[in-house]
Amino acid sequence: MPVILAAGEFDIKLGATGVQEWLKHDLFHWPQSAFKNRQIYYLKDKTSVGGYFVGFNGLQLVTVPKAGYYLPTDYYNVSKQLIDDLITNKSVVCHADSCTTGKQMCDAMDQCANKGTCDQDTGFCTCPATFKGADCSHGAI
């Protein structure tokens, strides 16, 4: 049975990082390398970015930047597309010609809100100590 976890950047206490730690250590034992193979989650219009996704052993994690507990209401189009993918394809699928991360993810995250440094190969932001979030757009407390 396919399973899709959808996590907003601000879910749980530590956001998407907390969900990744849970997947790595507590129950599923995902290797760190699984997170390096993430792909951009485009909606069916092939231009709107809904977040990014990664899978391992039949479980998929979709992270939606700038979302939290209200992902289904605040990001209805992304939530609906996830459900449609699960029903139609039994997994999250790439809806564009290429869903690799890197430059596309850096562009989608506004080059880490021009506050951090974006790795052009992986699309991950490295934020200075004064900022946090997947795109470094929020001040650290």
pLDDT at residue 14 in the model = 53
- Judge whether residue 33 has pLDDT over 50: yes
- The least confident of 10-14, 24-28, 69-73, 103-107 is 10-14
For Cα atoms 9, 127, 79, give the angle at the middle one, nearest 5 degrees. 15
Confidence band (pLDDT; 50, 70, 90) for 73?
Answer: confident
- The better pLDDT of the pair 14, 19 is held by 19
pLDDT at residue 12 in the model = 46
Mean of all residue pLDDT scores within the chain: 79
Mean pLDDT over residues 25-45, rounded?
77
Class (C level, CATH) for 3-89: alpha beta
Residues 80-135: tens digit of each pLDDT: 898 899 889 888 888 888 787 677 778 877 888 889 998 887 777 899 999 988 88
Q: What is the domain partition of the chain in residue ranges?
A: 3-89, 103-135
Q: Is 26 exposed, middle or buried, given 0-12, 13-18 or 19+ CB atoms closer than 10 A?
A: exposed
For Cα atoms 68, 43, 46, give the angle at the middle one, nearest 5 degrees. 140
Cross-strand bridge partners of residue 117: 126
- The least confident of 38-47, 51-60, 66-75 is 66-75
